[in-house]
A and B are shown apart, each in its own frame.
Chain A
Amino acid sequence: MKNSSTTTRSQSREVLGTSALRPDGVAKTQGDFAFSSDFQAENMLWGATLRSPHPHARIVSIDPTDAWRIPGVETIIFADDVPGQATYGLIASDQPVFAQNVVRYMGEPIAAVAADHPETCRRALAAIKIVYEELPVLFDMDLAIDPSTPPIHPDGNVFRHQRIISGDPDIVGDVIVEGTYDIGMQDQAFLGLEAALAYPDPGGAGVELVVATQWLHEDRKQIADCLGMAPEKVRLVLGGVGGAFGAREDISLQVHTCLLALRTGRPVKVQYSREESFFGHVHRHPGRIHLRHHADRNGKLLKVEGWMKLDGGAYASTSSAVLLNGITHLQGPYACDNSRLEAWATRTNNPPCGAMRGFGVVQACFAHEGQMDKLAVALGLSPVEVRLRNAMKTGDKLFTGQVVDSVAPVARCIRETDAIPLPAEPAYGTGSLELPGGSGRTSDPSHIRRGIGWGVSIKNLMYSEGFDDSAEARCTLADGVATLKFATAEVGQGFVVLAQQIARTILGVDTVVLDAIDTQIGSAGSTSASRQTWMSGGAVDGACRLVRERLFEQVAHVHNLNPLQLAVEGTDIVDTLGPLRVPVSEASKGLRIEETFLHRHRPTEELDENGQGNCHVAFAFVAHRAVVDVDTELGLVKVVQIATAQDVGQVLNPLTLLGQIEGGIAQGLGLAVMEEIVVDRGVVKNPSFTDYLLPTALDAPDVVAIPIEEYEPLAPLGAKGVGEPPCISVTPAIVAAIRNATGRDITRTPVRPQDICLPT
């Protein structure tokens, strides 16, 4: 990373601001790290799930007789065997643990089996006879919105309808540009497949579940409801998580695994295959967005109007929150007063969609950035100039009426990105792996055209619309060693190293022990919405500060000083007004100081019927510039370089920051040119990594990243969340670069080769 920091910092100790190495790094690199799929138990059974082959069907009959006869089968459970609530869901509890009478999407669970071996499970599932009566498949968003379409669920076919009207919605600009944009369904495609191991308590009084998840306490609540148990009877332990990206926020195998363990009285492990994983978790919402942008002759935005439709698939998951994020971000990072926007999240028989990195903003950004480019063309301005003329700044008001009081260096993000040198002109040798097509080696250097494109985005941080969000952490200091306890899901983002850095910085210790991540402490909330550095970081910071206060009191008492005079300097406690200097290790000898801290962010509000309200907590911004080489005859694209400047607040760990930036760019590149779950009338056509294309090292572009480091006063550590912004505007930047290279008005992502080279 270039220009990584302007501040001089201690390089010797792994405190805040250094590229401290993560405690799980070596084990993960060497293959020693235990992911949730690695857990085993004595006397363990295997569990497996029977899923619907149809997107919409009535279950006429189920006959498990033959399955029960298979030796090794211990139990088979159906909807009637769920002792508690029959359904679950993050926002609305509408998704059945097991389908009863009707299946609403391909892959919906109908039964689960526990047996002595995965192969026995497979045979048992195959032996369960189910008679289906196929029903008409609702696969179209417009049909779902149409009130005359019969509902496919008692709650109706629209999860949420929201409008935003602000300023003068009837104002007309000198220049008007219009476009319709389509976004395909992306999969989170984490590498660590869903896996869980449940241990039943004696007599079935409770259950312990080791699971890879993003949010232990929310899982526990939903599991307990379905098991008909008090939440404290359900204990969750975080199994090693191999990526999440939103796909582990919902329940997948949690309830099934616990039910099987309680039913058999034995530990049960459930582990999905890659194919099952495609059906077992929610995906990014596909959608269609139509926007009309009005501007004056100088290029100043006057109004944004239009609509957004996101398809939530069969069950609610977080569709209503994704839709809120989508519609409130259609404005983009641009100052504008007037709007008239409408949005729907639909229920169909397509795969359920929910959280994925960017959460509705990815879709919105693809549309508003396409519009900004159209505006630039209409006004005769460069893509950079039109964005600079409208760049949002602190104090600007959003369409929702909310004032952006976060640090908002949008213009700086654009300017610093623009200042990054462009890559050298292409000079490919024939057969080079750098050519479009990579290992396919079919591009001919003489048919390559280069293009440049821009994307700039705004992303809300934390949960919105009045959600009572908090994170708890506990710090214990004894004999110079700090121990931290929290329920924050480490999903790969590096919170474990950040927590250690915080404790080292605040307490002046070198050794920081991390206790197990489980439900034996209050909730940390979800590892999502770019919120854990702010929320759990704030909780760890708060707990460490409370411990330090008590340590200062002890030292002050012994030396007859005012504790307010004391400070931590390196690994010493020093008297800021006198000569005293005591190592923390010595001062804490024989002591055991323990403090717990609950961090909350400021409250937010729900939107009213016109979309007005302070619904978001804070915002972060980022600019991306993409350079692509396109073989215009074959339709192949090579993303050569991504330049980016990201508004990050205070940099706490440059190395993990760069990891988030590079990873997010790869994921956004996937949505731009490769990744799409192909769904045909509710049927998933490519549930494998053979047919669902993922970027590899060969596809990864050079990334030149500049952190825009402006301390965020709203944040406990001055640091903004950095996980989502990298993947948001990179997609429109790449697609804009393809438009620039080909001269084609491409309005759909991912861009397929035929979109580039076939006659339109």
Chain B
Amino acid sequence: MLPAAFDYKRAGSAAEAISLVSEYGEDAKFLAGGHSLLPLMKLRLAAPSVLVDIGRLSDLSYIRDAGDHIAIGALTRHMDVEKSPVLAQHVPLLAHAAWHVGDPQVRHRGTIGGSIAHADPASDLPATTLALGATYVVQGASGTREIAAKDFYKGFLESALRPDEMLTEIRVPKMNGAGWSFQKFNRRAQDWAIVGVAAWRRGSESGVGLVNMGSTPVLASSVASAIASGASVADAAQKASNEAEPQSDLNATSDYRKHLASVLVRRALEEASR
């Protein structure tokens, strides 16, 4: 289907993008890779009156070693995240999760910032960066601020971003040799996860993010607490099913999703503990 009519503005810089969005207000949307927004518009589930194209802001496409963390520009394509030697060395879980996103065409166009700002609980990267304890840098008309990933996701496709704010950078702590695993459950390649799990573990420290287990990406902190207090992987994984109230849909009932979450978290932690 065709989207509703809209105006198109191309921004030459982050500052220009923010001023354009401030000018048009709530009806304006940033367009990055377009791989979440445009399908919504074609289905007429979204009908912004203005699209501010930030896809050509190449200065926001980078992956840098910043000491204790890796800084990733918001407009970095999934393919660049997947192939990055810096991430392979320091945050291999994120590079691997990026490989699970969509198909090669999607990964060459879609961006990590777009995926996170879209805040889709079924997307792979929001839950993965949540599990990794990432911080998001956002820039607005009134300046720049940092938001911890665990404070970012507010509801279904809703984030802590204000209408005039733009996500500019994702800061992911280095994993320092932690074991990790990404478990994506779907029935066909390239589909959204029915349930997904991103997990890492280093001794008693761990992080577990759940994909598509509720209205937001879920940080399974009860699982990490159990691991920290010495619980077995199997016992800790049982807690995953109580972390969220997932919905029933054509792909899975709520009970089946909860069951999958426990099984996949256990498998993920087993792999991360090896």
Listed in ascending order, the chain A residues whose CB lies under 8 Å from chain B are 437-442, 444, 633-635, 674, 678, 685-686, 691, 693, 696, 753-754, 757-758
Measured in the bound complex, the distance between the Cα atoms of B188 and A754 in whole Å is 17
Measured in the bound complex, the distance between the Cα atoms of B256 and A753 in whole Å is 8
State whether A693 and B255 are in contact (beta carbons under 8 Å apart), knowing that A633-B263, A634-B260 are contacts in the complex.
no
CB–CB A442/B252 < 8 A: no
Nearest-Cβ distance from residue B152 to partner chain A, whole angstroms: 27
Residues of A within 8 A of B216 (CB): none
State whether A634 and B263 are in contact (beta carbons under 8 Å apart), knowing that A440-B186, A693-B187, A758-B255 are contacts in the complex.
yes
CB–CB A442/B256 < 8 A: no
State whether A754 and B256 are in contact (beta carbons under 8 Å apart), knowing that A633-B263, A691-B250 are contacts in the complex.
yes
Nearest-Cβ distance from residue A746 to partner chain B, whole angstroms: 15
Specify the main secondary structure of chain B where it touches its partner: mixed
B116: Cβ under 8 A from any A Cβ: no
Nearest-Cβ distance from residue A165 to partner chain B, whole angstroms: 42
Nearest-Cβ distance from residue B262 to partner chain A, whole angstroms: 9
Measured in the bound complex, the distance between the Cα atoms of B260 and A753 in whole Å is 10
Residues of B within 8 A of A678 (CB): 250
Measured in the bound complex, the distance between the Cα atoms of B256 and A442 in whole Å is 15
Partner of B188, one of A444, A696, A753: A696
Residues of B within 8 A of A685 (CB): 250
Mind listing 25 A-B residue pairs with CB under 8 Å?
A: A438-B189, A439-B188, A440-B184, A440-B185, A440-B186, A440-B188, A442-B183, A442-B185, A442-B186, A444-B267, A633-B263, A634-B185, A634-B260, A674-B187, A678-B250, A685-B250, A686-B250, A691-B250, A754-B252, A754-B255, A754-B259, A757-B259, A757-B263, A758-B255, A758-B256
Measured in the bound complex, the distance between the Cα atoms of B184 and A440 in whole Å is 7
Measured in the bound complex, the distance between the Cα atoms of B250 and A674 in whole Å is 12
Output the nearest chain A residue to B189 by Cβ-Cβ distance: A439
CB–CB A442/B264 < 8 A: yes
Measured in the bound complex, the distance between the Cα atoms of B253 and A686 in whole Å is 15
Residues of A within 8 A of B256 (CB): 635, 753-754, 757-758
Output the nearest chain B residue to A439 by Cβ-Cβ distance: B189
**Interface residues on chain B, size class:** 10 to 19
Residues of B within 8 A of A440 (CB): 184-189
Residues of A within 8 A of B259 (CB): 754, 757-758
- Additional pairs, 18, CB under 8 Å, beyond known A440-B185, A754-B255: A438-B189, A439-B189, A440-B184, A440-B187, A440-B188, A441-B184, A442-B185, A442-B186, A634-B185, A674-B187, A696-B188, A754-B252, A754-B253, A754-B259, A757-B256, A757-B259, A757-B263, A758-B255
State whether A442 and B255 are in contact (beta carbons under 8 Å apart), knowing that A634-B263, A691-B250 are contacts in the complex.
no
Measured in the bound complex, the distance between the Cα atoms of B253 and A753 in whole Å is 10
Residues of B within 8 A of A441 (CB): 184
Listed in ascending order, the chain B residues whose CB lies under 8 Å from chain A are 183-190, 250, 252-253, 255-256, 259-260, 263-264, 267
Residues of B within 8 A of A439 (CB): 188-190
Measured in the bound complex, the distance between the Cα atoms of B195 and A634 in whole Å is 11
Nearest-Cβ distance from residue A669 to partner chain B, whole angstroms: 14
Residues of A within 8 A of B253 (CB): 754
Measured in the bound complex, the distance between the Cα atoms of B259 and A272 in whole Å is 39
Output the nearest chain A residue to B256 by Cβ-Cβ distance: A754
Nearest-Cβ distance from residue B271 to partner chain A, whole angstroms: 9
Nearest-Cβ distance from residue B252 to partner chain A, whole angstroms: 7
Output the nearest chain A residue to B1 by Cβ-Cβ distance: A122
Measured in the bound complex, the distance between the Cα atoms of B183 and A674 in whole Å is 22
Output the nearest chain A residue to B188 by Cβ-Cβ distance: A439
Residues of A within 8 A of B250 (CB): 678, 685-686, 691
Residues of A within 8 A of B188 (CB): 438-440, 693, 696
Residues of B within 8 A of A635 (CB): 256
Measured in the bound complex, the distance between the Cα atoms of B38 and A758 in whole Å is 37
Measured in the bound complex, the distance between the Cα atoms of B260 and A442 in whole Å is 11
Residues of A within 8 A of B252 (CB): 753-754
Nearest-Cβ distance from residue B261 to partner chain A, whole angstroms: 12
Nearest 9 pairs of A and B residues by beta carbon: A439-B189, A754-B256, A442-B185, A440-B186, A633-B263, A691-B250, A686-B250, A444-B267, A758-B259
Measured in the bound complex, the distance between the Cα atoms of B134 and A132 in whole Å is 52
Output the nearest chain A residue to B190 by Cβ-Cβ distance: A439
Residues of B within 8 A of A674 (CB): 187
Residues of A within 8 A of B187 (CB): 437, 440, 674, 693
Measured in the bound complex, the distance between the Cα atoms of B189 and A291 in whole Å is 40
Residues of B within 8 A of A754 (CB): 252-253, 255-256, 259
Nearest-Cβ distance from residue B195 to partner chain A, whole angstroms: 9
Measured in the bound complex, the distance between the Cα atoms of B188 and A438 in whole Å is 7
Residues of B within 8 A of A753 (CB): 252, 256
Residues of A within 8 A of B186 (CB): 440, 442
Output the nearest chain B residue to A685 by Cβ-Cβ distance: B250
Measured in the bound complex, the distance between the Cα atoms of B190 and A696 in whole Å is 14
Nearest-Cβ distance from residue A757 to partner chain B, whole angstroms: 6
Nearest-Cβ distance from residue A751 to partner chain B, whole angstroms: 13
Measured in the bound complex, the distance between the Cα atoms of B187 and A442 in whole Å is 10
Residues of A within 8 A of B189 (CB): 438-440
Nearest-Cβ distance from residue B202 to partner chain A, whole angstroms: 22
Output the nearest chain B residue to A693 by Cβ-Cβ distance: B187
Residues of B within 8 A of A696 (CB): 188
Output the nearest chain A residue to B260 by Cβ-Cβ distance: A634
Residues of A within 8 A of B190 (CB): 439
Output the nearest chain B residue to A694 by Cβ-Cβ distance: B188
Residues of B within 8 A of A757 (CB): 256, 259, 263
Nearest-Cβ distance from residue B7 to partner chain A, whole angstroms: 22
Measured in the bound complex, the distance between the Cα atoms of B189 and A693 in whole Å is 12
Max chain B CB contacts within 10 Å: which of A440, A674, A696? A440
Measured in the bound complex, the distance between the Cα atoms of B250 and A678 in whole Å is 8
Output the nearest chain B residue to A674 by Cβ-Cβ distance: B187
Nearest-Cβ distance from residue A184 to partner chain B, whole angstroms: 13
Residues of A within 8 A of B263 (CB): 633-634, 757
Residues of B within 8 A of A442 (CB): 183-186, 264
Measured in the bound complex, the distance between the Cα atoms of B267 and A691 in whole Å is 27
Nearest-Cβ distance from residue B20 to partner chain A, whole angstroms: 31
Measured in the bound complex, the distance between the Cα atoms of B250 and A566 in whole Å is 67
Residues of B within 8 A of A691 (CB): 250
Nearest-Cβ distance from residue B45 to partner chain A, whole angstroms: 15
Residues of A within 8 A of B264 (CB): 442
Residues of B within 8 A of A758 (CB): 255-256, 259
Output the nearest chain B residue to A122 by Cβ-Cβ distance: B1
Residues of B within 8 A of A437 (CB): 185, 187
Output the nearest chain A residue to B259 by Cβ-Cβ distance: A758
Nearest-Cβ distance from residue A259 to partner chain B, whole angstroms: 27
Measured in the bound complex, the distance between the Cα atoms of B253 and A437 in whole Å is 18
Nearest-Cβ distance from residue B232 to partner chain A, whole angstroms: 17
